[in-house]
Structure 1
Amino acid sequence: MLSSMAFVRLDSSDPTVNPGWTLPPAFSDRIIVCDRDNPLEGLRRLQELQSRRPGRWVGFLSYDLAQVLEQPRPSRHNPVLPLYVFAHVGPDQPKFDGKLQLPHHRHSDVPLRADFTPTAYLAAVQRCKDYIAAGDIYQVNLSQRFTVGLRQRPYQIYQRLMQQYPALYGGYLDFGDFALICNSPELFLRVEPLSDGRRRVTTRPIKGTRPRAPGMDVELRDSIKDQAELNMIVDLERNDLGRVCQIGSVKVTQPRVIEAHPTVYHGVATIEGILRSEVTFVDLLCATFPGGSITGAPKIRAMQIIDELEPVPRGPYCGAIGFLDADGSMQFNIAIRTMVVADGLVHIHVGGGIVADSDPAAEYDETLIKARAMFAALGIATPESCE
């Protein structure tokens, strides 16, 4: 059962890049949880309440919600956690002052394990390449999950993560029986009301990763493979936004740039458009969720292959964490670099985009690079590479 009191906070390493994201730690006793029998009803209720109550609705959308929105085909995995949970933080809700008790999570001594052996992950990458060669897809995002016992308070893990490896779209969401520790660098959606009454929507997909080391930014910048990988996703995102935006308004406002993050370099582009006046929050999700950078292209076929090859459901990983404000604005990240705490365990999903010329060993090692900050926050060593 979910706790009757949620605890949430949002943090950014650079609020000038994503104004409005930050939310001081706060409690909430107004919670909307997905109804498995009618998942869209709760989202419609959320969009109704958005403008009726001052404050902010903070929560997450599980990647597995895609089975409702995109309906690629029935999944072989049964979601373990709710498909979404949102908590309302208003002026009358108690702020965290160190006196109120945070939710308790039991600890365990389970050693680190992975759902893929390195050999099995390499074989799955090769299977993705086979699908690409056969013409099923151009690109697919493949991930693996590490699991280890929880040995400390989840909130302490989050604080350490943000202090040592601050991210643009960080967040901590604790719903009692599970918690999310997010350190995401990627914007999924931002909706901003404009002075003329229109609404601008922005997405910033990431593709291409190198470790934060001398010369690696130049290597990433000059990589034809990584350029092509991002270009495919930019085209996909432009098409998705075109389904809900005014004709001719969707534009790539910032072509590919290389961004520096605490442990990695990433390639990122910015796409913007003007939403049509009748488009709702649910309409926007149906057109765009989940993000193309963590599925692949074509999106639905890529999602089917992900479901076939990944041994466990993704859950909140590769979904979205964010908020809806009373003024009509909203922001959601892509829930990558995200740990899920549940049942005395910490789950860490990491993945990457597979294209025709991907090297399986390099793809495996890229997942370890992305997990490095999370392993460090947990105080455990990063597993060895394939090489």
Structure 2
Amino acid sequence: MAHGKSTERMRKIGPYGVEPLPQVLVDVPAAPPGCRDTLVERARLQWRRTDGGDPAALAQEFLAGHGLDLSDLSRPAPAHPDGGACGAALYLSAAAGALLAGAPVGAPEPAPALPDLAVVVYHHGPARVAPTDPATPWWLGPWTESWTPAQHAAAVEAVRAAIGRGDVYQSNLVGHAAAPYTGDPLPALRRLGALPGARYGGVLTGDGWAIGCASPETLVEVHDGHLITRPIKGTRPATATGRVELLTSAKERAEHIMIVDLERNDLARIARTGTVTVDDLFAVRRWCDLWQAESTVRARAADGLGLADLLRATCPGGSVTGAPKLAALTHIAAAEPVGRGASMGALGWVALGRIDLGLTIRTAAAAGHALHTWAGGGITWDSDPTAEVAEAAAKTAPVRAALAGH
């Protein structure tokens, strides 16, 4: 195929990681729990936008070359061959998702060492245990924000103006911060992945980079031909008063339903006609010290749906872009001061018969001798700039506390 030579050039077989792989327990988000201490890396594909090509097609082709044929997700999975791959980690950045959607290039990335696509194939080996050597002393310096609260508030007003002109109905805004560190970042990123409510808690490492995720949000799940996405939109403090405020907020409910409709449309592009349904509309669930509203959208996969088309239809996620999605992405590219890096993308596990990708909210990355975090929220006409700045701070506070060891 046309991508064959570029795939070989970007593929690396062998140990990767902030420390040598044999000493690192594989802790990929959504990996089968019973496999995590026996997974051994078999092959890896890493891709950046400057490499050219279609990341969704590259991922599907690479996996098929290693015994994971995901070209028709509507059919029951074949049996795993003895000695074959258990599955693979799949990471796709928000920038790669925007490329798949045909959106313009955004601001420069604050952590350019991070790939835009990583696919890591694993097989089973002997059980391994965590290293027992004393940890390197950990120090995390002060956080430097990519924008001030006043600049963030001004960006909220700019979105409101765009809504007033009819350019968008809703647009997400995300801010970034970086902090220097010394020591091994993997224990800090694992602490992040262990936060309460982290449905996609875990770590993925590469050569000179590592991503830690504590996301509660399902971007897309596929099992036995069923498609599921669980958009989260709407946040309040996890108090009795906060729960009542979230349930009774007309603004939060309207914002949430707008994104549910967007996700219904995304799934409808790749689903059997008439199978898209919504369950548990605006269910309130807890993540750390926050209440969040979540819905479940389901569908049956269309015949012949492959991984590449699944990624094109669902990335980047509607809850972190806005509606209409392409118009929102265009506004995001112009409004945000730095790229979204490891955040607002996809990270999880793919295998024969099962795909489970989380949306990389509540996510941090170690790269370039710094830790990076991102946080934001959806902006509507009724958004209050001061409240939006406070909501982003509330979302990132548990992330930063976990990274610091508090």
Contact 2:210–2:366 under 8 Å retained in 1: yes
Corresponding residue of 2:124: 91
- What amino acid maps onto 2:313 in structure 1? A
1:307 aligns with 2:317: no
Residue 356 of structure 1 is matched in structure 2 by 381
Identify if the C-alpha distance between structure 1 residues 106 and 85 changes in structure 2 by more than 3 Å, giving closer, same or farther: farther
Alpha-carbon offset, residue 203 of structure 1: 0.2
Moved more, 267-276 or 2-11: 2-11
In the alignment, which residue of structure 2 is the partner of 1:238? 264
1:34 alignment partner AA:
W
* Mapping 1:165-204, distance limit 5 Å: 165-193=196-224, 199-204=225-230
Percent identity (aligned): 30
CA RMSD of aligned residues (A): 2.7
**Contact 1:204/1:271 (<8 A) preserved:** yes
Counterpart amino acid of residue 39 in structure 1: D
- Mapped to 1, the partners of 2:320 and 2:103 lie a distance apart of 15
In the other structure, the counterpart of 2:36 is 24
In structure 2, give the amino acid aligned to 1:370.
K
TM-score, normalised to structure 1, is 0.87
Q: 2:357 aligns with which of 326, 332, 345?
A: 332
Q: In the superposition, relative to structure 1, how do residues 201 and 106 fare at CA in structure 2: closer, same or farther (>3 Å)?
A: farther
TM-score (norm 2): 0.83
Find the partner of 2:321 among 295, 308, 327: 295
- Contact between 1:107 and 1:149, CA under 8 Å: does it hold in 2? no
One-letter code of the match for 1:98?
A
Unpaired runs of 5+ residues, structure 2, are 1-9, 17-23, 70-80
Question: Which aligned pairs between 1:108-257 and structure 2 lie closer than 5 A?
Answer: 110-193=141-224, 199-257=225-283
The superposition leaves residues 10-29 of structure 1 with CA deviations (integer Å, 9 ceiling, x where unpaired) of 467xxxxxx95775254414
Determine if contact 2:197/2:286 at 8 Å carries over to the other structure. Answer: no
Amino acid at match of 1:9: D
Tell me how far 1:97 sits from its aligned partner: 1.6
Query: Residues of 1 paired with 2:299 and 2:209: CA distance?
Result: 36
* Post-superposition offset of 1:54: 3.0
1:105 touches 1:344 (CA, 8 Å); kept in 2? Answer: no
What CA distance in whole angstroms lies between the structure 1 residues aligned with 2:290 and 2:167? 31
* Residue 69 of structure 1, aligned match among 63, 83, 100: 100
The Cα shift of 1:170 comes to: 0.7
CA contact (8 A) 2:98 2:329 kept: no
Contact 1:158 1:181 in 2 (8 A): yes
Say if 2:203 and 2:213, in contact at 8 Å, map to a contact too. Answer: yes
Specify the SS of the correspondent of 2:338: coil
Q: Measure how far apart 1:154 and its partner are.
A: 2.0
Counterpart-to-counterpart distance in 2, 1:232 and 1:91: 43
Q: Work out whether residues 47 and 281 of structure 1, in 8 Å CA contact, stay in contact via their aligned partners in 2.
A: no
Which residue of the partner structure matches residue 52 of structure 2? 37
Is there any run of 5+ residues in structure 1 with no aligned partner, and where? 13-18, 194-198, 382-387
Q: Is the 8 A contact 2:42 2:123 kept in 1?
A: no
Deviation (angstroms), 1:155: 2.1
Give the length in aligned residue pairs: 367
The residue type paired with residue 62 of structure 2 is L
Task: Look up the equivalent residue of 2:302 and give its one-letter code.
Answer: R
